[in-house]
Amino acid sequence: MALTNEPNLSARLDSLSLQQISDAKNFVVPARRNRPGHSRDDRMLWGTSNLISKIHVEPHPAERRAEIGVEASAPVTIQNYKYVASYNWKDIEHPTIYVPGLSRPFPRYNDNVHTNPTAGIPPKFTPPSLPIQLQKDNSTRSSARSPAAPVDPLFQAILHEHPDFDMSSIDIVTTRRSLRDLLDFTSCSTGKWRIDIDMVHNTMFINQWEEFRLMLINGRQNSEYGHTFEDSVVNKEAPLEDSLNHERIVEYEIGGLKFLVRFEADAYLEDDDSETREPMKIPLADPPAPKPSPVILKPPYKLVHVISRGRNVDPELIIELKSCSRGSINMGRTVPQLWFSQTKHLGVGYHKDGLVTRDLDMREMTEKLDKWEADNQKHLKSMIHVIKSIRDIARTGERKLTVVCSMDDGLKCLSIYRRTGHGMTIRPEVVAQCWKNSSTS
């Protein structure tokens, strides 16, 4: 069966593939040392063993879509959205974060932004005079990361702000990027990728593949001027000048599942109401780095050092910044990104070979986000169907999985493998503290 351009697509577990895989009990992915090559396709299978099942994207007639509930179910929308925590990476060798940190300020571009009066916003910032000549992005933005423990900063930030935070009600922990990948799969967008799945009690973690995660950390070789553009139009507030990207953690519900989602925030709009700002947290002295954990953790793991510094920012003020050198930006890629983080403001900067000669194009995106949500219900419902299918497999004994997106006989396919070796690194004391109300194991 070949893919078509029919817009009504849905995802389902392919029963034929499931039967074939259940019969092929001896199918095992070769060990790394036996593989003849080291292509990206090969590397995406490292650390995997048996192929468990496949999920295909294929067109269904209306009666089939109704049968699997793609059209009959309630509209998929983001509900009960709330900010949980945030942090900035400190530019230092030992993995260190500022909590709650602060993204960078940008001047308000209209008077229709309604803010929470308890949120703190920095002093007014004035963009530099034009024109600006940008330098190409540096491919090594930061090495202050802990690749073996991608969720550690998330928990450190949450527990710093909410020591009694209860994870037992959270169904999915993931990143905005992983949700975009899963949505792209249901809409037949091209691209190969891998995510790793881990279950902690009844909570499913969707983690970026380590190689891809490091590529995002260090920057792409062909990322052009995106990062330096951001640095040129916004300023870091003292005393966070030595911080890097600002990460935010939000909670919301989609399709009957409760998500905890992490994403990077570029900047936020400045607020004129200085009297209601939350004061900046500035300790008299930074606390000492944490002592090594008694738990043996896989190198190069280091405990994340937390410094209380920064202040909270209202979600309504967050802005996404994009740079564009030719024509207009790809809104088909940008709007889903904004939707998954509920970012209502977009700033687009245009340049030619790094030369910026015009002010940013500032856009309020609420109406476009609502329209995109209405126009993409079939894909959103299919995405939730896929996530629930993966979660069902992970909850029935397979606690560690790898999901690889590729082509299979002309169809876009998610191949789900058992994952070998160590699981996601998460400290036992964090599990005990955050899942104390969980009755599952």
267-290: pLDDT as tens digits = 888 765 544 455 555 454 555 555
pLDDT at 119 over 70: no
Span 187-198, average pLDDT: 89
| Residue appearing with tokens 């999915």 | 172
Contact 256, 306 (CB under 8 A): no
Tokens of 142: 């930061």
Residue 269 forms beta bridges with which residues?
A: 106
Q: Tell me, what's the pLDDT at 356? A: 84
| Position 244, amino acid | L
Q: Identify whether 100 is preceded by a cis peptide bond (ω within 30 of 0).
A: yes
Q: Which of 20-24, 59-63, 164-168 has the lowest mean pLDDT?
A: 20-24
Tokens of 82: 């709330």
Burial zone of 428 (CB within 10 Å; 0-12 exposed, 13-18 middle, 19+ buried): exposed
pLDDT confidence band for 17 (50 / 70 / 90): very low
284 Cβ contact list (under 8 Å, min separation 6): none
Q: Tell me, what's the pLDDT at 176? A: 97
CA separation for the pair 211, 363 (Å, rounded)? 34
Burial 149-170 (b: 16+ CB within 10 A, else e): bbbbbbbbbbbbbeeebebeeb
Span 19-25, average pLDDT: 41
Strands 132-133 and 104-106: unpaired
CA separation for the pair 223, 140 (Å, rounded)? 12
CA separation for the pair 377, 272 (Å, rounded)? 38
Tokens of 99: 């909590």
429 Cβ contact list (under 8 Å, min separation 6): none
CA separation for the pair 55, 13 (Å, rounded)? 5
- Give the three-state DSSP class for 261: strand
Mean pLDDT, rounded, of the chain: 77
Contact 156, 100 (CB under 8 A): no
CA separation for the pair 178, 159 (Å, rounded)? 23
Q: Tell me, what's the pLDDT at 27? A: 45
For residue 346, give the nearest of 333, 139, 354, 355 by alpha carbon: 333
Residues in the chain: 441
Residue 252 forms beta bridges with which residues?
A: 259
Q: What are phi and psi of 101, to 5 degrees?
A: 70, -165
Strands 243-254 and 257-265: antiparallel
Tokens of 110: 């209209």
Q: Which of 8-12, 54-58, 197-201, 278-282 has the lowest mean pLDDT?
A: 8-12
Rounded percentage of the chain residues whose pLDDT exceeds 70: 70
Rounded percentage of the chain residues whose pLDDT exceeds 90: 39
Q: Kindly state the DSSP code that residue 263 receives in the 8-state scheme.
A: E
Give per-residue pLDDT as tens, 77-90: 999 999 999 998 88
